[in-house]
Amino acid sequence: MKKKLSAKQKKDAIFIYGFLAWPILHFVVFWIGMNFRTFYDSFFDISIVEGAGVVYQWDNFDNYIRVFKIIFNKAPYDNYDLSGIINYRAVTNSLSLIPLALFINMPLTILFAYGIFKKVPMYGFFRIALFLPSLVSSVVLCMCFQMAIDINRGILPEILRWFGLTGARGDPANMGIIPQGGFLADPKTCWPMILVFSVINGVSGNLIYFTSTMARLPASVFESAELDGASSLRQFVSIVVPMIWPTITTMTVTLVAAVFTWIMPSLLMTDGGQWYSTTIGLMITQVVKNDMYNTVMSAFGVIVAIFGTIIIVSIKTGMEKLFEGVEY
């Protein structure tokens, strides 16, 4: 016999499923629908013919072949170029963000969070100073960073001039180690400067997650460790890291996944992106904005999704094997 739902249970079910309806609809339309359409379009050459409208022509795997030629720098830019934005540097730049996130951003964030957790001198000031940038718009942060490295009024060029590494302000004949057009206008210095910005911004943005996680750690564990003579470094290595490892794993997966959609700093600091500062997300966005029927980018998106999933799952699986989950 089927159990009949009471009036209260029916109301609760309507309430719950009513709230779930929107995210489910969003997932179906903007994830399943969009990804299926991207995969479908990647096998066609789409063009607009006068009198016939949008025409689909089966293109086999030509789009995928073009993508791999671009990735391995075997395709002339002129073939698929829109303002030089389609090129292999989008892949190399994006992939360089992964070791930056794993071996610089993440360790720095954890160390700063541990310092705040241990209440080092002036920890209250550091908590505010490090977390404050995450409350500011990325547009404003990019503008501030641009001003800091501006060749005429930036603090970084002023420091270089103070050490005698450049000529006087406004002296184009003696720029020293500063590129002629500025750090963001030179192919050799633009991307490194953007990486520096990503470290500064990345540490502040993720700090709250680790400070919150460490705040939940049992005080009795640290009291016992101190009675046994464990130093702060030993407590960090043997207690804190293993106990917050699930959070580290989750944040690592989040950071690596964000690499493939990383857009804003390159877009804002290079006026729409240059060939030497583009990323995967920026390249796809810029090309589709100018040519919404560019099916090469559809194929590129499919390839990025496949290899990105492999990278993320591999990192997550490897990290989960390092430490067992701890309940406390």
What is the structure's pLDDT at 165?
77
Domains of the chain, start order: 49-320 (1.10.3720.10)
pLDDT at 5: 67
What digits encode the pLDDT tens for the residues 117-140? 998 898 888 888 888 887 888 889
Q: How far, in Å, CA of 25 to CA of 149, rounded? A: 45
pLDDT digits (tens, 9 = 90+) for 141-191: 999 999 999 888 888 888 888 887 776 666 666 677 788 888 888 888 999
Pair of tokens at residue 174: 């003696």
0.85 exceeded by pTM: no
Q: Could you give the angle at the alpha carbon of 196 between the alpha carbons of 195 and 202, nearest 5°?
A: 85
Q: Residue 160: is it exposed, middle or buried by C-beta count within 10 angstroms (0-12/13-18/19+)?
A: middle
Of 84, 39, 67, nearest in space to 290 by CA: 84
Mean pLDDT by 10 residues, the chain (328 residues): 69 88 92 91 83 81 88 63 67 92 92 92 86 83 90 85 75 73 87 91 84 91 92 93 92 91 88 80 83 84 93 92 77
